[in-house]
Structure 1
Amino acid sequence: MSLSETPPTTVVIRSRRVVLPDGERPADVLIRDGKIEQIAAHGSLLAGDQHLTDLGDVALLPGLVDTHVHVNEPGRTEWEGFATATCAAAAGGVTTIIDMPLNSIPPTTTVDGLEAKRKIAEGQAWVDLGFWGGAIPGNAADLEPLHNAGVFGFKSFLAPSGVDEFPHVEQADLETALAEQARIGALAIIHAEDPAVLEAAPQQPGVHYRDFLASRPDDAEAAAVARLLDTARRTGARVHILHVSSAAVLPLLRQAREDGVQVTAETCPHYLTLAAEEVPDGDTAFKCCPPIRDESNRDQLWAALANGEFIAVVSDHSPSTPDLKLLQKYGGSGDFAAAWGGIASLQLGLPAIWTEARRRGHTLSDVIRWMSAGPASLVGLTGTKGAIAVGHDADLVAFDPDGEFAVNAEELHHRNPVTPYAGKTLTGSVRTTWLRGRVVDVDAEPFGRQITRH
């Protein structure tokens, strides 16, 4: 679509595989003025000024909601920016992202920091965009103003974050932050690794992935989650555990839920589709914290996911420049201990998960529950996002579940050509993405909106 064209106000999208909240079936979806107005029998709608798109056997999915994305702009835009991140999101079938509060400068720990992000993001987003706030030592007084300004909750680290401007919380800080968030009704989202366990673990620099894995043991996650859950019990806070990589935390979460603690958890495509055994020495594109663990652990995460123990599967897209990853292909040392820890995968989450999910006997409905409906529920967007339902935004994805492609990092839309999926063959390709009924054309002008918790 060119910039001069006006999108049709009434659109019908037809598919033999429409993934609806109650399952998959043939249907026509009528869109008017950006909203889903009707879901009807396949082939039944077409009259007047309606514009028809017939997908045949290509599936129609609700747009994905990714609540864990590090955009890094302003301040570290050379790592990633709003234009490149949201372009990658749209290409991967993600129609809503929630930006993390750190790696940008300033971080989103004050209203001024939030407004700096909002200002620079204006007019750059190809998908809808919201923001998390940050809870760090000394900013308890900033939480309520940020909450009132529309952030979706507050992120804290229990171990060092990797950037000086976003320090981790000690136990006293955590108590203060969770008590304040309980008072104002905010969601606390937590990077849970225990610094004492990390400090006691063997620290062996070098190219061997097994040495890096030993430096971030399962016990670091389990100890941090246990401490967090105890604090949540006492403060009454609602907490969400970010990027669970270790199955050792699963029994703790089950017990906490039985005890009435308000706790949810997420995991990520890289923990579900990659395994420590296959990480090549020196390939620091695979480095993330907490780390990718072994195949047995991965199987346990899948079992928990199938059992409904994770509310969401989200990317934790945390890119950097190639030099900070110390990649050997760019002349770097390949030292896992020194490289930046973060996986770049925003465009690839859907096909990566579908490739493995289908192999394990799961359906597209399962994938949408994990990657669209669940994340929308987490951040309170169930009335507008996360499902093909009457009254929802017409955020939709044409997805060929049988299409295969080899990942070429140079062709991805995020800013730097680094991803652990490079060279892998994935199943499932995004054909078209619609945002509020309009085709997202990355060669045209972006029309994503900024959204708030309200």
Structure 2
Amino acid sequence: MRQAFMHDLVIRSRRVALPEGIRPAAIAVQDGRIVALADYDTVLPSATITDLADLVVLPGLVDSHVHVNEPGRTEWEGFATATKAAAAGGVTTIVDMPLNSLPPTVSVADLATKRAAADGQCHVDVAFWGGAIPGNLDSLRPLHEAGVVGFKCFLSPSGVEEFPPLTLDEIDKVMRELASFDGLLIVHAEDPVQLDEPVDGSYRAFLNSRPGAAESAAVQQVIALAEATGTRTHILHVSAADCLEPLAAAQARGVRITAETCPHYLTLSAAEAYTTAFKCCPPIRDAANQDALWQGLADGVLSCVVSDHSPCPPAMKEGDFASAWGGISSLQIGLPAVWTAARARGFGLTDVVRWMAAAPADLAGLRRKGRIAVGCDADLVAFDPAASFIVEPISLAHKNPITPYGGRELLGVVHSTWLGGRVAWHGHPPAGRHLVSDNR
């Protein structure tokens, strides 16, 4: 019988990414939680002791923007494949978007259907967003009470008919309803008036059809509504640098608004968008715009870097930029993609951890996630920041191995991932849980 004072697991490394910085440490785990942090050489009796030497121990990443698509479009992606890809990429918590699955998550019954589809399949922990669409205003509070972490809406068409956009008047009503219970609204912000059909199938025509001005105008509209209602609001996948100034000004005024960007906007540019694997909405823009997004992260205007993993079957990526599906699959390779570019720009791993673990966890109200601290879940990643690899799409765990990163050399290799102190994936059965927001 195990002695009462023994821990289930101790992981030690000369480089552990703690909230206060990277230092040598030993992490003691019991019943899935971190129960002690000590100096590297401290003796901590344990059933299992793992010494990672100079590998960096990161907190498990939290990806708050993932389209799993199950049920209904599991041929696009599913909980089994998405969560395997997440674990392989150092992501230990995903938050599933409410659309592209059938039904979309716009009622408590739909949430139950989604959770039933996920049962027994998840290799990492999963939380869920609810959706705000025309006609479901009365479902928002019940969904909040059922544990969704917030509500997503669109100002422009979503790409699927069953998840229509809201008008500004409808968003105002949604915000006032959410404000009554301090709910969170997350917004795909592109002004539909400024969007157009591409004049041809080229990337340049596609880019011109979704200008940065459409994002900026929508962001300013959302800021005005958030300021008037006091609603917690978050802008999704900022691709246009034009959004940064109004966001910074609103944050300085105390408006409760945050924003995210994605690995593809930080690491890819319009100049290299030569295949439809690069197509996403809003689009990847030019190098100068990318520089400004990095400055937005440095300044804290953008707080999160999350994947917007939006996969589809290969046939939907065929054709040209006018007709192909707009979505990028990067759940498994977001960490090395961001680290490669961040390191080259003088950022450190503590910055990456803040953007990709702590801030998304805070956004979603998951207080035991995203940091290595006593009381937090023992979601840990052994990471070699100096090792490099070539992205081979066929080796990815995503259901459909389509990626604009194919053939690219990236820096940073995930060696192991622990979920609640247990090794995730790599031959182990699914042990992921369904999470609910701590902000209820």
One fold, TM greater than 0.5?
yes
Per the alignment, residue 452 of structure 1 pairs with 436
Aligned counterpart for 1:55 among listed residues 52, 55, 79: 52
* 1:302 pairs with 2:297: no
Aligned counterpart for 2:361 among listed residues 376, 385, 403: 376
- 1:62-104 per-position Cα deviation (integer Å, ceiling 9, x unaligned): 0000000000000000000000000000000000000000000
Q: Distance in 2 between matches of 1:157 and 1:79?
A: 21
Per the alignment, residue 222 of structure 2 pairs with 228
Aligned counterpart for 1:422 among listed residues 374, 382, 406: 406
Aligned counterpart for 1:83 among listed residues 80, 83, 88: 80
Instruction: Using the TM superposition, give the Cα deviation of residue 442 of structure 1 relative to its aligned residue in structure 2, in angstroms.
Output: 3.6
1:50-449 alignment, distance < 5 Å: 50-199=47-196, 203-206=198-201, 208-280=202-274, 283-326=275-318, 333=319, 335-382=320-367, 384-449=368-433
Aligned counterpart for 2:23 among listed residues 22, 25, 38: 25
Which letter maps to 1:324? M
Per the alignment, residue 3 of structure 2 pairs with none
Which letter maps to 2:324? A
Which letter maps to 2:25? A
Instruction: Using the TM superposition, give the Cα deviation of residue 426 of structure 1 relative to its aligned residue in structure 2, in angstroms.
Output: 0.4
Q: Distance in 2 between matches of 1:279 and 1:397?
A: 32
Q: Is the 8 A contact 1:311 1:378 kept in 2?
A: no
Q: Is the 8 A contact 2:67 2:96 kept in 1?
A: yes
Q: Distance in 1 between matches of 2:249 and 2:88?
A: 39
Compare 228-237 and 215-224 and name the one that shifted more: 228-237
Q: Is the 8 A contact 2:95 2:129 kept in 1?
A: yes
Q: Distance in 2 between matches of 1:175 and 1:303?
A: 31
Q: Distance in 2 between matches of 1:345 and 1:216?
A: 22
Percentage of pairs with the same residue: 58
Instruction: Using the TM superposition, give the Cα deviation of residue 440 of structure 1 relative to its aligned residue in structure 2, in angstroms.
Output: 1.1
Q: Distance in 1 between matches of 2:200 and 2:153?
A: 27
Q: Indicate the SS of the match to 2:389.
A: strand
Q: Indicate the SS of the match to 2:433.
A: coil
Q: Distance in 1 between matches of 2:410 and 2:421?
A: 27
TM-score with structure 1 setting the length: 0.94
Q: Is the 8 A contact 2:28 2:44 kept in 1?
A: no
- 1:346-380 per-position Cα deviation (integer Å, ceiling 9, x unaligned): 00000000000111111111100110011111111
Which letter maps to 2:213? D
Instruction: Using the TM superposition, give the Cα deviation of residue 314 of structure 1 relative to its aligned residue in structure 2, in angstroms.
Output: 0.3
Aligned counterpart for 1:41 among listed residues 21, 39, 48: 39
Q: Distance in 1 between matches of 2:34 and 2:44?
A: 15
Instruction: Using the TM superposition, give the Cα deviation of residue 50 of structure 1 relative to its aligned residue in structure 2, in angstroms.
Output: 3.2
Question: May I ask how many residue pairs the two structures share in their alignment?
Answer: 433
Q: Is the 8 A contact 1:205 1:338 kept in 2?
A: no
Q: Is the 8 A contact 1:31 1:394 kept in 2?
A: yes
Which letter maps to 2:300? G
Q: Indicate the SS of the match to 1:184.
A: coil
Q: Indicate the SS of the match to 2:432.
A: coil
TM-score with structure 2 setting the length: 0.97
Q: Is the 8 A contact 2:7 2:28 kept in 1?
A: no
Q: Distance in 1 between matches of 2:395 and 2:44?
A: 37
Compare 242-251 and 304-313 and name the one that shifted more: 304-313
Instruction: Using the TM superposition, give the Cα deviation of residue 46 of structure 1 relative to its aligned residue in structure 2, in angstroms.
Output: 4.1
Instruction: Using the TM superposition, give the Cα deviation of residue 205 of structure 1 relative to its aligned residue in structure 2, in angstroms.
Output: 2.5
Per the alignment, residue 329 of structure 1 pairs with none
Instruction: Using the TM superposition, give the Cα deviation of residue 259 of structure 1 relative to its aligned residue in structure 2, in angstroms.
Output: 2.5
In structure 2, list runs of 5 or more residues that go unmatched: 1-5
Q: Is the 8 A contact 1:20 1:389 kept in 2?
A: yes
Q: Is the 8 A contact 1:394 1:437 kept in 2?
A: yes
Q: Is the 8 A contact 1:304 1:310 kept in 2?
A: yes
Q: Distance in 2 between matches of 1:203 and 1:29?
A: 53
Q: Distance in 1 between matches of 2:241 and 2:92?
A: 30
